[in-house]
Amino acid sequence: MFDTLTSSFTSAIKKIRFHDDEKALKKALTELKKNLLKADVNHKVVKQLLGDVELDVKTAGIGKDQFLNSMQTRLHELLKVPGHQGFVFASKPPTTILMMGLQGSGKTTTTGRLAFYLKNKQKKVLIAAADLQRMAAVEQLIQVGASVEVDVYHEENEKDPVKIALAAKKKAQEGLYDVLLIDTAGRLAIDEALMGELKAVRDAVKPDEIFYVADSLTGQDSVRTADSFNQQLGIDGVILSKYDGDSKGGVALGIASQVQVPLRFIGNGEKMPDLEVFIPERIVNRLMGYGDIEGLAEKTANVIDEKKAKEMTRKIKKGQFNFNDFLEQMESMKKMGSMKSIIGMIPGMGAMGDALKNFDMENSGELKNIKAMVSSMTMKERENPDLLNNSRKSRIAKGCGMDAMDVNRVLKQFKNASKMAKKFSGKKGMQDLQNMMGQMQGGKMGGLPR
């Protein structure tokens, strides 16, 4: 999901060699500036970031390592503003969150996604329908709640959002809910009546936090409205929605520092699982092209259990990842939401995101081939792909109705993919990745599934 931004950084990084001169630095910075502005990153943010990097690198001596170090530090500073990260539970449940946003920003959908995210963390969640501005809003929330199997508190004839919010809080306390998400009214634009209503709800329920849902498709406008909500109501976190759409993505880089409120989550697809927690350290890694193994493991843990995810990570690190694991991963990935939302988390894939973006997991011919191939293997072969010599391969090819050449190709892809995964899962992997980045960006797809 950070394809555009990631390629801005990785292409600038490629421009600097280990010992280089000021001209090379200027060239890299100029290109980065052009790309970041094109991605709709605020111009002041760009100026500050690049100014800082230039100064750091000149002070430390011009070279690739210095450039990488400074970029990493400065990006981190940019994204990490004072405040919480991800979802933070109050010491005394229910953790009460007010969800705010303009009409159409994605507030209702995001409330459902957040509920889904929390439910997957084994939390008991109640959603309250306090958006009485729009006729269909309550009905929509009830549907969203049903789709993620989370309780929704609503009252048919009550017109006062404060009363609904208070009654929902009481129900959440009495029903021992861990979290209460209150969906509040939205309008097409900020007006006094809306602010008055939101203040009344805020003052009555005294939420632990206020999340503002900003539509990333509206670019810098979403930053301005977030700022305005913050000035008037005091928000604790921003959630960017519709990050999968035609949004250029730059908003995610600037919004926290521009509004001085942390970006907490990003909505990046139409499905309920398409909500990602925004942890600055991890996002910086992704922007630099290092991937996000932790984020990937966490997302996996939502659909398979945590123990299995740890086991999988251990296997990847040891290079013991076999065909059974591969199939299992593929199956669970189907449940994780759109492919687009996970591509950038896989080390090295951020840089080739485009090529794989539209890879359709469910209907992919390649996945079918792999499945057919694996089902023609013996248990031992599945567990140990190294056993596959030529006679075994031709037996498998016959069994699954593929050419021997195709079997070889798929096997090679699998081996390369697991080699890459092993390589990049360790700490040293990052350095290796840097060295390989040039080759990969040259258009070679390595051995990844097509």
Q: Closest separation between CB of residue 140 and ligand GDP, Å?
A: 6
**Backbone torsions φ then ψ of 254, nearest 5 degrees:** -105, -25
d(Cα 125, Cα 373) in Å, to the nearest integer? 43
Distances from the Cα of 236 to the Cαs of 78, 97, 178, 211, in angstroms?
Answer: 17, 10, 19, 6
Determine if 186 is a binding residue for ligand GDP (CB under 6 A).
yes
Closest to ligand GDP by CB, 118 vs 266, is 266
Minimum gap (Å) between residue 216 Cβ and ligand GDP: 8
Using CA atoms, how far apart are residues 243 and 434, in angstroms rounded to an integer? 27
Taking the least distance from each CB to ligand GDP, the nearer of 4 and 108 is 108
Structure tokens at 412: 């090679």
In this complex, which beta carbon is closest to ligand GDP, that of residue 198 or of residue 397?
198
Q: Cβ–Cβ contacts within 10 Å for residue 269, how many?
A: 21
Q: Which stretch binds ligand GDP (CB under 6 A): 96-104, 253-261, 327-335, 409-417?
A: 96-104
Rg, the chain, Cα only: 24
Q: Judge whether 70 and 57 are in contact, CB under 8 Å.
A: yes
Closest CB to ligand GDP among residues 241, 413: 241
To the nearest whole angstrom, how small is the minimum distance from the Cβ of residue 230 to ligand GDP? 18
- The alpha carbon torsion through 242, 248, 250, 252 (nearest 10 deg) reads 10
Report the Cα–Cα distance between both ends of the chain, in Å, rounded. 19
Angle at 245 between CA 244 and CA 251, to 5 degrees: 80
Q: How far is the CB of 35 from ligand GDP (least distance, A)?
A: 24
Does residue 250 contact residue 39 with C-beta atoms inside 8 Å?
A: yes
Residue closer to ligand GDP (CB basis): 295 or 347 = 295
> Residue 385 Cβ, how far from ligand GDP at the closest point, in Å?
38
Report the site for ligand GDP in 268-327 (rule: CB under 6 A): 268-270
CB closer to ligand GDP, 103 vs 218:
103
Of the candidate residues 94, 101, 207, 353, the single one contacting ligand GDP (CB under 6 A) = 101
Q: Which is nearer to ligand GDP, 8 or 268 (CB)?
A: 268
Site string for ligand GDP, 236-275 (x = CB under 6 A): -----xx-xx---------------------xxxx-----
Residue count, binding to ligand GDP (CB under 6 A): 17
CB of 266 to ligand GDP, least distance (A): 8
Residues in region 102-131 near ligand GDP by CB under 6 A: 103-109
Q: In what order do the strands lie in the sheet with 125-130?
A: 151-153, 125-130, 179-184, 95-101, 209-215, 237-241, 263-267, 275-277
Which of 103, 408 has the CB closer to ligand GDP? 103
* Integer Cα distance of 46 and 252 in angstroms: 13
Output the smallest distance, CB 401 to ligand GDP, in A.
38
- Cα angle for residues 282, 284, 290 (degrees, 5° grid): 80
Q: CB of residue 105 vs ligand GDP: minimum separation in angstroms? A: 4
Identity of the residue, 53 or 239, whose beta carbon is nearer to ligand GDP in the bound complex: 239
By CB under 6 A, is residue 139 in contact with ligand GDP? no
Question: CB of 383: closest distance to ligand GDP in angstroms?
Answer: 40
Strands, E assignment, 201-256: 209-215, 237-241
Which residues of this chain interact with ligand GDP, rule CB under 6 A?
101, 103-109, 186, 241-242, 244-245, 267-270
